[in-house]
Chains A and B, each alone.
Chain A
């Protein structure tokens, strides 16, 4: 069993602080997926008022 009392002559080892990494959610969890909009809205998405 390790001695729980640290040796004062020895600098305490630094334990790296690890912040839990939060991976960004996949984008469909954050934004509306364009393939889910309705057929008419997709026809508007094509935007024929703007040149190809």
Chain B
């Protein structure tokens, strides 16, 4: 397991190693970059940026762990990371959808920010696991009983339609390559209803693990301080990469 906490902040926004642990720390690593001491200004300090703004200055090259701890303690830095945009790649008019007739795969729809790539990967894995029901309708694919608000049936349908919209956009061959013969998108609405419901519940849980609920969705902002710390958490795609079963992988 790679220790992200002890790794010096990189000079560019890059992805943490696949086996780097820590749910919140992994998000943080995608948010910040560090510039070295400036020789032109004579300022012998390292600057940590979040977006285009300076978050912190330090005399020594900071690590991700140190920087996150300092950001939590410095009010200005803490505030800067407490209101981050939830959506990118869309205009405000298409930022929030609440009914099936608004779902369209024309044009481009909102995506979660790069810092939430792990969240996106987790949801993709949940969809992947749900699709096993195409081969076995009795698939054991548990939903979520605790920790989230119940998901109404009409919201399950809305979520499935939204997921389908995106699956329709990118097709791959059986090896996952972006070449012909590309396979059709998985028809999620043909999954057994309990699996569709469980998938929508899992998606709600995933967002909750990143501190995103209805209030954050409505405001379009999220806070890194609401992301579960989970210092030992590693992405499930690590298990997929190792060829292990993921159906019963931990949350």
Interface residues of A (CB under 8 A from B): 24, 26-52
With A45-B167, A46-B119 known to touch, is A34 a contact of B127 (CB < 8 Å)?
A: yes
Please tell me if the beta carbons of B109 and A51 are within 8 angstroms of each other in the complex: no
Partner of B172, one of A37, A47, A52: A37
Number of interface residues of B (CB under 8 A): 62
In the complex, number of A-B residue pairs with CB atoms less than 8 Å apart: 136
Q: Mark B141-181, 1 if CB is under 8 A from A, else 0.
A: 00000000000000100110011011101111010101000
B176 touches A36 (CB 8 A): yes
Assuming the contacts A27-B132, A28-B174, A44-B109, asked whether A34 and B167 have C-beta atoms less than 8 A apart, the reply is yes
**CB within 8 Å of A: which residues of B?**
86-87, 89-90, 94-98, 108-114, 116-117, 119-121, 123-125, 127-128, 131-132, 134-135, 155, 158-159, 162-163, 165-167, 169-172, 174, 176, 178, 182-187, 203-204, 206-208, 212-214, 217, 237, 240
A25 to B65, CA, bound (A): 47
Contact B96 A33 (CB under 8 A): no
Q: A36-B172, A43-B116 are in contact. Are A48 and B135 (CB under 8 A)?
A: no
Residues of A within 8 A of B94 (CB): 49
Chain B residues contacting A38 (CB-CB under 8 Å) are: 170, 178
Q: Which residues on B sit within 8 Å (CB–CB) of A42?
A: 117, 120-121, 123-124
Known: A35-B125, A35-B240, A42-B123. A49 touches B162 (CB 8 A): yes
Point out the residues of chain B lying under 8 angstroms from A48, CB to CB: 86-87, 110-112, 217
Which residue in A30, A40, A47 is a CB contact (below 8 Å) of B159?
Answer: A47
